[in-house]
Structure 1
Amino acid sequence: MGDSTDTEKTAVKTYVPTYQKEEWQSHADRLDMSQSEFVRTMVQAGRRGFESGSAEPDSPDPDPGGNALETRVLELLSADTYTWDELLEAVADDIESRLDETLEELQSANRIRYSGRHGGYTTVDGGGDGD
Structure 2
Amino acid sequence: MKPGADTSRKSVKTYVPAYQKDEWQAHAKELEMSQSEFVRTMVQAGRKGFDPDREEPDSPDATPGGNALETRVLELLSDDTYSWDELLDAVSDDIESRLDETLEELQATDRIRYSGRHGGYVVVDDAETASGDDGD
Instruction: Identify if the C-alpha distance between structure 1 residues 59 and 65 changes in structure 2 by more than 3 Å, giving closer, same or farther.
Output: farther
Instruction: Identify if the C-alpha distance between structure 1 residues 59 and 104 changes in structure 2 by more than 3 Å, giving closer, same or farther.
Output: closer
Matched-pair contact (CA < 8 Å) for 1:115–1:122: yes
Whole-angstrom CA distance in 1 between matches of 2:105 and 2:86: 29
Q: Give, as a single letter, the amino acid of the residue that structure 2 aligns with 1:115.
A: S
Paired residues, what number? Answer: 76
Which residue number in structure 1 is paired with residue 92 of structure 2? 92
Per chain length, whose mean CA-contact separation is higher, i.e. which structure has more relative contact order (CA < 8 Å, sep 6+)? 2
User: Which has the higher Rg, Structure 1 or Structure 2?
Assistant: 1
Whole-angstrom CA distance in 1 between matches of 2:102 and 2:83: 29
Give the share of equivalent positions with the same residue, in percent: 71
Which residue number in structure 2 is paired with residue 74 of structure 1? 74
Instruction: Identify if the C-alpha distance between structure 1 residues 75 and 84 changes in structure 2 by more than 3 Å, giving closer, same or farther.
Output: same
Whole-angstrom CA distance in 2 between matches of 1:102 and 1:91: 17
Q: Give, as a single letter, the amino acid of the residue that structure 2 aligns with 1:123.
A: V
Which residue number in structure 2 is paired with residue 111 of structure 1? 111
> Cα RMSD between the aligned structures?
2.2
Aligned partner (choices 32, 38, 48) of residue 56 of structure 1: 32
Give the match's secondary structure for 1:71: helix
Name stretches of at least 5 consecutive residues in structure 1 with no aligned partner. 1-22, 28-53, 127-131
Give the match's secondary structure for 1:56: coil
Name stretches of at least 5 consecutive residues in structure 2 with no aligned partner. 4-29, 38-60, 127-136
